[in-house]
A = this chain, B = another copy of it.
């Protein structure tokens, strides 16, 4: 499939700043999807609000662009309501780990078969430069004039602590590898998190393209992503941040598979309807005859 097929319009007005790392992520995502020959009509891009979260508008796909911080709950539900769809979440560090932190944790526990790309620019871009959960200590902003005093959020360590199914980090300074990691994440069955270093050229003068290059390196080839404790240890490295697939959890059924409804067939919910027979049976059970009355009320 030609990448051009993923262009949504002829003359797209992209609202990102010139030079923004998001352009690279968009390009790489489109390449990955093209190489995977993704059926676009069955692709759903889900996002919250932020610069990163605008990405779905710039790719030809079904789009659910919801609320700030709330990409994962609809994404989980979309996949559960129709497992035939491929669901990819595009989010920012504030969107996913700040406002959306609780969903981040509990979606990992749920383990739906969706992919979650977090454009991690260590700042709130859209709202013009406040600290984000991943901002480094001491990072100064208009809102944090004496610098950030909170411990930076370590998304990989937390995901590994939650036994996430797939945990990786990429840096858009390396498109080729980022593309491969993206493909691997999309192909992975289960919840896949990829935290992607993305320079915000306007509001983050600390974590620039160069900084990300200088402060990252790839996990060695022989690295074994099946070792949870080792993955955790590597996730703690911050002198230089390792890139690559940190952790692949033990195989376990995904959220949607475990729903009773799909033990009765694979049809998505929209192709089913309430059976009169089952309903009549339920009404029968509500007529006060033993022993349902005890069980049901």
Q: Tell me the smallest distance from the CB of A121 to a CB of chain B, in Å.
A: 18
A91 at the binding interface (Cβ < 8 Å) = no
Q: Chain B's nearest CB lies how many Å from the CB of A133? A: 7
How many copies the complex holds: the figure is 2
Contact call B229/A153, Cβ cutoff below 8 A: no
Closest to A110 in B: B150
Query: By the criterion CB–CB under 8 Å, are B236 and A105 in contact?
Result: no
A180 contacts partner chain B, Cβ-Cβ < 8 Å:
no
Prevailing SS type, chain A contact patch: helix
The distance from the CB of A34 to the nearest CB of chain B, in whole angstroms, is: 34
Which residue from B111, B146, B153 sits with its C-beta under 8 Å from A260?
B146
Q: Which of A13-21, A52-60, A82-90, A157-165 lies on the face that meets chain B?
A: A157-165
Which residues of chain A in 236-263 are interfacial with respect to chain B, using CB atoms and an 8 Å cutoff?
236, 252-253, 255, 258, 260
Quick one: which of A154, A162, A255 has the most chain B CB within 10 A? A162
A interface residues, how many (CB within 8 angstroms): 34
> Is A109 interfacial (CB 8 A cutoff)?
yes
Q: Closest CB of chain B to A71's CB: distance in Å?
A: 14
> Do A232 and B161 touch (CB < 8 A)?
yes
Complex Cα–Cα for A92 and B13 (A): 49
Report yes or no: B161 in contact with A157, Cβ–Cβ below 8 A: yes
Q: In the complex, how many angstroms separate the beta carbon of A76 from the nearest chain B beta carbon? A: 11
Give the docked Cα–Cα distance between A152 and B162 (Å): 8
Residue numbers of A with Cβ under 8 A of B are 98, 101-102, 105-106, 108-111, 133, 146, 149-154, 157-158, 160-163, 228-229, 232-233, 235-236, 252-253, 255, 258, 260
